Chains A and B, each alone.
Chain A
């Protein structure tokens, strides 16, 4: 593998890893607060791309307004989903709320098939994102370079919200101890809605960029990325935001590299790319079930 090719693969991996990281944070934040795996997260991501698509094609809005609308609508949808599907079950056993999450996921997918149609749609191309940039043999579209930059920016903003603001402090408190936080006068419902809002916003930012990079929309497009990013969150240590980012990047790099090196292998591995995520999940559950950044929790009996 020449250096140029290696650098090219790194660029490919960085943009894929960033998208995974953005989505994985949504899983991990909700888990951190509610101890709930939001299985509908991948579908929220899918919806955001359709929102942007319709804003641009049916309402003919310029891309920046369309993307802003898509993000706002997705945030609204995420909070409404929490209110409708999860809040009524807040005090039920954990399993009920998880079943509700799976049901929500199926409902959104199939409603999307009904409303948006099963035929793949082409995400409109925005010229400034589809320019081709070439630096000493390494070539990529501008969106592939913008994705990691936006991701880093978003991570800084997220870090600021969580560590420096009052709402962030409340979020940390709720994630530490739900009951005690409530007793200290924190409005737990607001905090949870806010968390879902942030998670959905990240999914929407990821979704819009995904649409620009992979301009093909189908109602089931959230399924596989959703599953993989859930794995990324578990690998990093679910409930830990840094872990989710690390998990997302490990997954992105692993997937690209398994294909990159398979050319030099006697047996072709490129078809096993999707298996990488699942093998990684099994390995991490066997070796370090709390994930890379997770603290091992001691259950006191």
Chain B
């Protein structure tokens, strides 16, 4: 009996290990009127850290180019949401209560934005999403805006690509069930694809995995004989890279389609040859400059990181989020939350590096999508899809 109690205690301590959360590290002093604080809310550690790092590049770049607004210095405060929904809420709280930032930028990963969204709204601090594409991030949240398109557009784009360009008749889905981005995108894709093929059974199977999973052999093996022409697998880049690698090991020779999260160097590093030919939708490609700001961004990027380096789409989006924040503060003429919010909501034809931003009534940017593929270990431009 004693041993049972011991084991029960063990279980409890295991639960504790998961429940424990540490406060984000403190940085900077508060209450100085001479600086305007902009909070950056990104995953810098954990499964999505590579995404956070790419967006940080864009924000650092924009900060170097435009360090002041309303004749005041801008201080950028970075907080880590640790690729975790619970930590995301803590990190959001930290920005609101302790750092008292004027505007929040971020995050890579819709789930984290959704976790912290209500906190920003309650505190009346406007937030500008960088690459969080889930429709629910801004829906019903007066204070959340974004410079990227949303999944109801992206899902339709990919379904059309699968049907028209890839010639797929049957598609298998592998989604990251614990990731709001992945589930919503796959749902929209499924609806649209069924409509396009006019076939209720066009989606041959839907299987799930969890964030952080490393073994997908079971899911993939089931697809092997399902007769799918393509696999749509939106999800975090590291898991997706492993997924494609294991598909290759299982000799599954079916085209992989995905979403904007795949445009991360880690996909190619981890996936190697296995990710060749994968197709995904994204926001931006340096080969097709969209606005004058694109040139400014590209010049600055190459000057800082080297001539031959290609910026990721999310880096451009993060850059846009920062300059849009500055623009809104300028138009509002103050750092008062509701005033900036109103200025943001009125954004029209804003010249961003990753395209022109016009925010709709939900605070979402309406802009074109770009389809890319992986060729010879590089992300290669395929085509542009205009908003419908």
Do A5 and B221 touch (CB < 8 A)? yes
A residues 73-107 near B (Cβ < 8 Å) are 94, 98, 102, 105
Do B212 and A224 touch (CB < 8 A)? yes
Do B207 and A119 touch (CB < 8 A)? no
Do B266 and A122 touch (CB < 8 A)? yes
B residues 1-52 near A (Cβ < 8 Å) are 1-4, 6-8, 10-11, 13-14, 17, 44-47, 49-50
Contact with B along A118-143 (1 / 0, CB 8 A): 11101001000010101000011100
Cβ–Cβ < 8 Å partners of B47 in chain A: 120, 218
Chain B contact residues: helix, strand, loop or mixed: helix
Cβ–Cβ < 8 Å partners of B13 in chain A: 98, 102
A16 at the interface (CB under 8 A from B): yes
Do A5 and B53 touch (CB < 8 A)? no
Do A134 and B251 touch (CB < 8 A)? yes
Instruction: State the interface size on chain B (CB cutoff 8 A).
Output: 52
Do A270 and B53 touch (CB < 8 A)? no
A171 at the interface (CB under 8 A from B): no
Q: Of all chain B residues, which has the CB nearest A256?
A: B218
Q: Which of B14, B215, B217, B270 contacts A227 (CB 8 A)?
A: B14
Contact with B along A261-301 (1 / 0, CB 8 A): 01100001011011000000100010001100000010100
What's the least CB distance linking A140 to chain B, in Å?
A: 6
Do A139 and B249 touch (CB < 8 A)? yes
Task: Report Cα–Cα, A162/B85, bound state, in Å.
Answer: 45
Q: Which of A9, A122, A221, A268 contacts B206 (CB 8 A)?
A: A268
Q: Of all chain A residues, which has the CB nearest B6?
A: A94
Cβ–Cβ < 8 Å partners of A58 in chain B: none
Do A259 and B270 touch (CB < 8 A)? no
Task: Report Cα–Cα, A16/B215, bound state, in Å.
Answer: 8
Binding site for A on B (CB under 8 A): 1-4, 6-8, 10-11, 13-14, 17, 44-47, 49-50, 53, 80, 177-178, 205-210, 212-215, 217-219, 221-222, 224-226, 238, 241-242, 245, 248-251, 266, 269-270, 272
Chain A to chain B contacts (Cβ below 8 Å), 23 pairs: A5-B225, A12-B215, A12-B218, A118-B49, A120-B238, A130-B249, A132-B251, A139-B249, A141-B249, A220-B212, A234-B7, A256-B217, A259-B207, A259-B219, A270-B209, A270-B219, A273-B209, A273-B210, A274-B210, A274-B213, A285-B11, A297-B3, A299-B1
Q: A122-B270, A268-B206 are in contact. List 15 more A-B contacts (CB 8 A).
A: A9-B217, A105-B17, A118-B44, A120-B47, A120-B266, A125-B272, A140-B250, A215-B245, A216-B238, A216-B270, A256-B217, A259-B219, A259-B222, A262-B207, A281-B11
